[in-house]
Structure 1
Amino acid sequence: MARPLLLSGGPIYVPPRQAAAVGHAVAGVADDKSGPAYQRRTWDALRASITGHVNKATPANIRHVLPELLAENLVRGRGLLCRALLKSQAACPAFTDVFAAIAAVVNSKIPAVGRLLLVRLVVRLRRAHVTGDKHQLAAAAMFVAHLVNQGVAHELLALELVEMLLAEPTDDGVEVAVGVVTECGACPREVDAVFDALRSILVDADVDRRIGFLIEGLFAVRRTQFRGHPPVRPELDLVEQEDQFTHQIETPLEDSHVKQLDPETHLDVFKPSATFLQDEAAYEDLKRSMLGDDGEHIEESEPNDDDDDFHREDMEMEVIKDETATNLINLRRTIYQTIMSSAGAEEAGHKLLSIVRPGQEAELCAMLVECCKQERASSNTRFHGQLGQRLCRISRAYQAGFEACFARCYAAAHRIGTDELRAAAGL
């Protein structure tokens, strides 16, 4: 009988014969698939497999790596996947678009992974900005830009990021902001305000000559309609637009709000689960729906008319109604940012008309009145009045919208403060 091994003193060399004896001694415990020992072994294997698939992905083999990655239990290992993506992307920023493509495909199948990745990115962005870690800040900002291009993150996140970097311009912050706009500047419609801020920094701010050359180079790229900087390379365009699931982080990139986000770091460590076998069986069903019964590549499987009819009937029966008003919140935020970043009424009107679609005129009128209420100087309220006058000349819908706003303000005049009432009357 082999002598017991005393491993409390630290890692030591174990001869193969003694290691085999120890393995046979604990075989009975490890074979229990519901026990902690077996769950720990599968957890270690899952972590190694996810890390390996992420690290070996390239634009040439990503279509073959993704089915192998999706075959792993990414619901259980979503924390491991997010950590592997963030760690690999920070170590090799040149492959950021590849990691963003992986995140986009997994997000289209399991949206919780995309949400968790964005939350951790926002937390990392704010921490790097506060501590002045340029390397981490640049890597995380580039990841956000490519996730916006892939449709995982809403474009407002990139705009808020650039606004945070340019609020108190420094050489490092402006350099990172230029990189973000270069990568995803062809996507957001509200990028004109960013270029106005960069122009003022180039003229007024005391920045290094190298940063000035970077800004001038960005303007040259913009004049060419971002030619040479496509949002997504053809070999990495793997998700159809209707299959994309876009996330919007509802908190701005401020320290007090970022602290409210939960990065769920407990998902990165092993914890035994009482429902381990049920969770594994549930993911097997999900994996079959994603990859097919035989586990072949998605693009190589032959279409089945019966399955298509079945899924089409399910889609017709399932009606999803969004009651969170996410689109309305995003529209109001975009209108507010456009109004506050415009230098004149004509510029603001031109930008707003390119944002607001038919049927949204009332929201624009309401936001203009709310912005006017917050002003204290008469010159600023004159700006809002000129903007409202130009909008009323364009369409009767804006006239009706302002009339409705006047009726609401008149009815609630006894609840409005004196300063707000005076500012609203100036509109």
Structure 2
Amino acid sequence: MTSAAVRWHDLAADRLTLLRGTGIVALGFALGASIQSEWIYSELVPEWAQVDLWRRLAANGTAVLGLVAALAVLRAHRPRSVVAVVGRAAVAAVFMGVLRVAAQVSLGVHPLDDMPTLVAEVVTGAFIAFVSAGIGVWMLISRRRMRVAARAVERQVVSVELALQALEAEEIRVRRQVAEGLHGTVQQRLLLVDARLAAAEARAAGVLPDVAEEIALARAELAQSREQDVRQMSRLLYPERLEMGLVPAVRALLGRLPATIATRLQVGDELRALDDPSEVGLTVAERLLAVRVVEEAVSNALKNGPPALVEAELDLVADELRIVVSNDGDPYVPPAEPDPASGTARLDQRLRLVGGALRVVPRTPTGARVEATMRLGVLVDDR
């Protein structure tokens, strides 16, 4: 919505608030005054008792309509200054007092030659109109203040969401860059070092066999570090097949488990359709956070007793991604005091920032069950 449209909408809401509030209060006064006058005149001033109630109601009702119309014509809702609004309300109140007396005279409520009574009616009507308009102005000012406060909160929420999106995008960029550096530059350097060690081993083989053996051991450790440590660190920073989608990344993660552990992955049809990388579906940030949840659940399962089975369920419910990872390892006993520095607690805090949550519960008959939810559409795509 453009700023002009917002301004128009605000003015329309202000006008409705002022006119409706003033009209309701003034109408209450008009009905009460008509009924009260009918009773007083019939009891205390018998010569005025011949005036019908409907005439008093018609005169007062005409005055109320005149007050509301005057406020609308004067555009009392437009000024930002309270003094200006009250000033226009006062003008409308005087108009109502005069209009009320004119209606009373025309309907035969009061004779035209009874000036003291007419003046009193003008003053009384103007006062009642000013009080009614004052209540309407108070409602208008209250509405404006509430609107300003609500929009301030909205701006704060938007700024927090934008900051979160920027941090997520920057984290993904850094993770991808570091992972590519580890997989590319570091791997190449390690291969060059291995090649030089191989040459040194060949030269020392016939002259210094002990040295050649040490070099061979160093090469073996270097190869193991290159294949396990560097590659594993690269996967931790940026999971394998993440660009292809959430399901391929989770499948690759489960595929790295030992062959002695059976794995099972269940994916809902709606999520499969949304996870298509050729469509605008899950963002990279959403995939990364979801994979982190599965990774944390699998890591905890391996630490707390090797399970025989690890099951992962991914599904989409409305605008929420639901992740369930269960294992049949050792029985899970919830800690008496959760560790706020644990990986599970940090993931829960991160999920709460995007409208989700994470919890760990015991699985029947044994093992643990990690349940997580994540609201989609909060983490923007960085691509």
Give the TM-score category using the shorter length. under 0.3
Pick the structure with greater CA Rg: 2
Task: Give the TM-score, by structure 2 length.
Answer: 0.22
TM-score normalized with structure 1 length = 0.21
Higher relative contact order (CA 8 A, sep 6+): 1
